Amino acid sequence: MIIVTAPSFAERIWIPRLPGVRSVATPMGKRAGNSLSRSLQDIDRPSALVSTGFCGGLFSDALTGTIVIGDTIDYEGEQITVDANLVERARKALTTASLPFLVGKIVTTRGVVKSPQEKKNLARTGALAVDMESGPLVRVALAAGIRFIPLRVVLDTRDRPLMFNADRSDLPMALAHPVLTLQLLRTVIIAGRVIGRAIAAIAAELALRREECVA
């Protein structure tokens, strides 16, 4: 079984319902780790844990819908290396599915990074993307001895601000800026569809790997 985590409904809704794949909701940010720890107590040990959802693109030519496979996670000053075999399997799966992706470092921050200047500053660390969950989740996975890989999809590019996030406090702003809200909805749909295709591809690849091992 593969566990796929995502924080918000707007991200989880795209995770396909497939045999051997279980979707687990986690909060945004650092609380995601504690939530995952509790969930793992009631779940049979998975063969892998995939963290998905939206991210901010930090590379200059980032496009909405580009997948970032994290091979390193920069979290609270620690550089955490991701399982190399899983990275290679994900690379193979996304190539076969003809999905746009890059492999590199993901930096996890405590708060939402909205402004282009913040993203440009983080880009200087060499990271391709920024999120809020990969760091806490990979620590839980490592402690439990579960293979982990972050598979994040670019929502907002480096040179464009993220006007809204999942926080309810953004609702008045969203209502006051209907055009921007519609633009964001369009990017969410683009990125969300890619999440669905990416998870389906990697789930198929990992299932094939299990069959090969059994054979």
Secondary structure of residue 80 in the 3-state scheme: strand
- Give the rounded distance of the alpha carbon of 41 from its chain centre: 23
Q: What is the pLDDT along the chain (215 residues), one digit of tens a residue?
A: 899 999 988 899 999 999 999 999 999 999 999 999 999 998 889 999 999 999 999 998 889 999 999 999 999 999 999 999 999 999 999 999 999 999 999 999 999 898 999 999 999 999 999 999 999 999 999 999 999 999 999 999 998 877 655 444 455 555 566 666 777 788 889 999 999 999 999 999 988 655 444 33
Residue 86 vs residues 13, 132, 137: alpha-carbon distances, Å: 24, 21, 16
The residue type of 170 is D
Determine the Cα–Cα distance for residues 8 and 44; give it in Å rounded to an integer.
Answer: 24
- Tokens found for residue 164: 């809204």
- On whether the CB atoms of residues 3 and 46 are closer than 8 A, the answer is yes
From the options 3.40.50.1580, 2.60.40.1080, 3.40.50.1860, 3.40.50.360, give the CATH code of 2-214: 3.40.50.1580
Which is nearest to 91 in space by CA: 201, 211, 210, 213?
Answer: 201
Residues 6+ apart with CB under 8 A from 144: 37, 40
| pLDDT tens per residue across span 24-78 | 999 999 999 999 999 999 888 999 999 999 999 999 888 999 999 999 999 999 9
**Dihedral sign for Cα atoms in the order 206, 210, 213, 215:** negative
- Tokens found for residue 172: 């008045």
pTM assigned to the model: 0.89
- The domains of the chain are located at 2-214
Determine the Cα–Cα distance for residues 169 and 123; give it in Å rounded to an integer.
Answer: 28
